[in-house]
Amino acid sequence: MSGKSKDGKQTIFSKAYWLKAAGELKKPQVLVFAALMIALRVALKPVGINIAADLRINTAFLINAFGAMVFGPVVAALAAAVSDTLGCILFPTGPYFFPFIFVEIAGSVIFALFLYRTKITVAKVIMSRFCIDFFVNIVLQTPIMMLYYDVMLGKYYAPLDLLRIVKNLALFPLESVVLAVFLRVTVPPLKGLGYVASDVGALRFTKKSVCLLAALTLLGAASVGGYYVYHYNSTSLSASYTADERAERNAALGSVVYARHPDWSAEETVTVVESALPRFGTNEVTYSCAVYRADTEAVAERAAGGGAGMETVRGYSKTKARNDECLTFLLQADVKLDGKTGEVLSYTETEK
């Protein structure tokens, strides 16, 4: 790969491109401009344009894009790190968590890769905004949010935060239009000062660019919708059971198992729900259950010493049941129920 485009210009895949981007660090005027962009970005962090209830465009992204366009990906990454740190100090919204800095850096670098020292088109503006809203704000930020909630707040954060995802998808076309208009207005006056090398002559919306905007919006929505269905079908309901709900579900599934084994003593048998997988668009829930025989005398002796008695054992989760020496595994049962009526739709079991 030569690293050059058809017109002979260096591309992001060439060594020369990155050497030029790194060379911006040696220019005093670029560093001064970067400091100005950092200050503006931090100042505008709490400022937004209200679109609808709980939907607003943060104006700081305009400064982020403009700065990245001027000084390239290397300076953009450093400026993003500085502005993120200053923003957390001056406008804290919670405990400082270092990994969030990578979200800021990724967004700035993506803007630079699409806009730095190139002819700016509506398509490039749209693609830069899509990559940030989808790959950075949704794909990259999700595991960081999960880690933040776990480490800093001691809480669980759902991998699929629909409110945050819908906001990003809803704002994507609006932000693309606003950014295109912003660059169209601001670049020409500053080009004569020597800061801007980019050309915005092609920054006009055409039928093709509108189709691209619509296609990417639909692609993002379809991707999220597909992942939602997958996540819904593969996430066990039992993971969020309370102690009472778990005991109730264990008892309900136990009655299904015992109906097929009338010779078993319900007093000595324990059924534990190991997973409960729903199916999107239906009322079906498939329960995977482990059935154990309890040594009631050993359990009673343990309970007398302050340990777990049968009432506690009947509310066990998968891990606790497998680690209890008073329980002997009998079989695995897979039960599909209608979540509304409780009707058994299918039943299979596998003995040890």
Residue with tokens 């933040």: 148
Residue 54 — φ and ψ, nearest 5°? 60, 20
Which residue intervals of the chain bear CATH 3.10.450? 238-351
The per-residue pLDDT for 234 is 87
Considering the chain, tell me which residue range(s) the CATH 1.10.1760.20 domain(s) occupy. 15-235
pTM score, two decimals? 0.73
Q: What angle do CA 58, 227, 142 make, to 5 degrees?
A: 45
The pLDDT value recorded for residue 7 is 46
- pLDDT at residue number 87: 84
pLDDT at 289: 94
Q: Give the per-residue pLDDT at 168.
A: 78
Tokens representing residue 179 in the block: 């950014």
pLDDT at res. 206:
87
- C-beta of residue 306 within 8 angstroms of C-beta of residue 327: no
Show the low-confidence residues of the chain (pLDDT under 50). Answer: 1-2, 6-8
Length of the chain: 352
pLDDT value of position 199: 65
| Cβ contacts of 348 within 8 Å, gap of 6 or more | 333, 334
Q: Which residue has the tokens 């010779």?
A: 263
Count of alpha carbons within 13 Å of 208, Cβ hemisphere only?
7
Query: Could you please report the per-residue DSSP string of 249-317?
Result: HHHHHHHHHHHT-TTS-TTTEEEEEEEEEE-TTSSEEEEEEEEEEE-HHHHHHHHHTTS--HHHHTT--
Half-sphere exposure of 155 (CA within 13 A, CB side): 6
What pLDDT score was predicted for residue 342? 87
C-alpha to C-alpha distance for 153 and 149, rounded to whole angstroms: 5
Which residues make Cβ contacts (< 8 Å) with residue 7, sequence separation at least 6?
none
Regarding beta strands 284-294 and 119-121, do their DSSP bridges make them parallel or antiparallel, or are they unpaired?
unpaired
Instruction: Say whether domain 238-351 belongs to CATH 1.10.15.
Output: no
Which CATH number is 15-235's, of 3.30.1360.120, 1.10.760.10, 1.10.3080.10, 1.10.1760.20? Answer: 1.10.1760.20
Structure tokens at 169: 């998808």
What is the token pair recorded at 157?
Answer: 């954060």
Instruction: Tell me which residue of 64, 67, 45, 66 sits closest to 56, measured CA to CA.
Output: 45
